[in-house]
């Protein structure tokens, strides 16, 4: 029986996708749920799994083509499929087939690798079975592959074909098209700059109290909750406290209307090799420090592995971005439209401060909030940032709800 392979239903906010890579060709056997192709949208990379065992009969869309929901991509002829390569190799070497099957179940065969991991393996001609895996259920992560590349001997993989030597005195350059995600990021940043009246205000926060609290309870917290106590949960909680006092900062503009959101969906910016993505923590005001830390850590892992879903990236009423992890001391972040404000965290740096009339060394961080001046006045933005500063300098108030 011949089965059509179609583009999955895309969300209303995503009009089309680009078919970036085929992982099977006509005549290749395929197993159910094995990945046939990668589709890149403006936000994430989607996999197209096979619905049944069979053989690829026809590919109707070339790599690089733009496709829409429901469009036919390929045809497969359902039926028996050859044994997985890992099992065949195990049989040839005298190894137990079960070992190879276990390895495939652990996500080491090419059909179960995330798009970013698969791309890295294919570009470097690697054998996924030779790479130690640290992901859930024995799956390979991008960090595993990067670490392996850093430790491998130079001759462990096939070297790419050498490029033709440039003429003497010539300066080489490459022209590489933007990915859909990078192009979308570029367009959104331009749109934000051209449609919003953006202004940034700064302050600084003394993180002594937060640092002491983390040092006192970090081991017990990790033991009880299975996740490290970081700084992000404190900043999310402090932001929500300030947003409740100044609801216009949690609002957005829709035509001539101001939409006040009576919920707190906090976007947390995460940097990936494909660009910046902003997964959203839903109803963050109802969640504990432990749940916030777990969700942020899980989103960061998914972003590195390229396994974020579109639903993880949609919505959001306010965003937090942390340039401090890269060493940034101060910056002016751009609002994640249609939101109206964004908080920028920066590097924690010990500085001499006057405390109680005496000079003391304190862990200080510069904070920045960029806001849409069309609906947020300077007074509100400054007081909002002061509210975050006060909550962080006296975190007991957040814990006690006062």
The catalytic site residues sit at: 373, 377
Say whether 272 sits in a helix, a strand or coil.
strand
d(CA 208, CA 191): 39
104 closest CA partner among 138, 148, 72, 150 = 138
DSSP 288: -
DSSP 39-108: EE-SS-EEEEE-SSSEEEEEE-S-TT-EE-TT-EEEEEEES--PPPHHHHHHHHHT--HHHHHHHHHTT-
**Alpha helices (runs of H) in 85-206, residue ranges in sequence order:** 85-93, 97-105, 115-123, 142-151, 180-195
48 closest CA partner among 105, 96, 9 = 9
DSSP 286: G
Task: Tell me which residue has tokens 């791309």.
Answer: 119
Between the alpha carbon of residue 238 and those of residues 60, 386, 389, the distances in Å are 52, 10, 8
State the helix-helix crossing angle for 289-305 and 142-151, rounded to 10 degrees. Answer: 60
Q: Judge contact between 98 and 131, C-beta under 8 A.
A: no
Residues 6+ apart with CB under 8 A from 230: 214, 293, 296
Checking DSSP bridges between strand 35-40 and strand 45-49, what pairing results, if any? antiparallel
First to last CA, the chain: 66
232 closest CA partner among 268, 205, 201, 264 = 268
């Amino acid at each position: 029986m011949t089965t059509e392979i179609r583009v999955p239903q895309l969300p209303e906010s995503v009009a089309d996708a680009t078919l970036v890579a085929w992982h099977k060709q006509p005549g290749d056997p395929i197993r159910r749920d094995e990945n046939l192709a990668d589709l890149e949208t403006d936000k994430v990379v989607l996999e197209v799994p096979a619905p049944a065992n069979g053989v690829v009969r026809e590919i109707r869309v070339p790599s690089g083509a733009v496709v829409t929901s429901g469009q036919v991509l390929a045809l497969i002829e359902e039926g028996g499929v050859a044994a997985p390569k890992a099992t065949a190799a195990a049989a040839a070497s005298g190894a137990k087939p079960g070992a190879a099957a276990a390895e495939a179940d652990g996500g080491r065969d090419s059909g179960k690798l995330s798009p970013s991991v698969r791309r890295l393996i294919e570009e470097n001609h690697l054998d996924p079975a030779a790479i130690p895996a640290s992901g859930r259920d024995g799956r390979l992560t991008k960090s595993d592959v990067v670490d392996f590349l850093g430790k491998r001997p130079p001759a462990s993989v096939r070297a790419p074909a050498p490029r033709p030597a440039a003429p003497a005195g010539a300066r080489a350059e490459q022209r590489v098209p933007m990915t859909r995600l990078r192009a979308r990021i570029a367009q959104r940043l331009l749109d934000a700059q051209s449609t919003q009246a953006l202004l940034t205000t700064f302050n600084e926060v003394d993180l002594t109290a937060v640092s002491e609290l983390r040092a006192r309870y970090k081991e017990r917290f990790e033991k009880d909750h299975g996740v490290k106590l970081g700084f992000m949960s404190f900043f999310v909680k402090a932001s929500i406290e300030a947003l409740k006092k100044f609801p216009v900062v949690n609002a957005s503009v829709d035509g001539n209307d101001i939409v006040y959101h009576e919920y707190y969906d906090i976007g947390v910016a995460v940097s990936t090799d494909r660009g910046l993505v902003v997964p959203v923590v839903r109803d963050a005001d109802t969640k504990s420090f432990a749940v916030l830390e777990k969700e942020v850590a899980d989103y960061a892992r998914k972003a590195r592995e390229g396994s974020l879903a579109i639903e993880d990236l949609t919505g959001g009423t306010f965003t937090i971005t942390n340039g401090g992890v890269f060493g940034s001391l101060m910056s002016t972040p751009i609002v994640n439209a249609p939101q109206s404000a964004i908080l920028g965290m920066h590097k924690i740096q010990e500085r001499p401060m006057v405390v109680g009339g005496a000079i003391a060394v304190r862990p200080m961080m510069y904070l920045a909030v960029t806001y849409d001046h069309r609906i947020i006045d300077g007074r509100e933005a400054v007081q909002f940032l002061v509210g975050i500063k006060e909550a962080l300098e006296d975190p007991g108030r957040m814990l006690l709800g006062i």
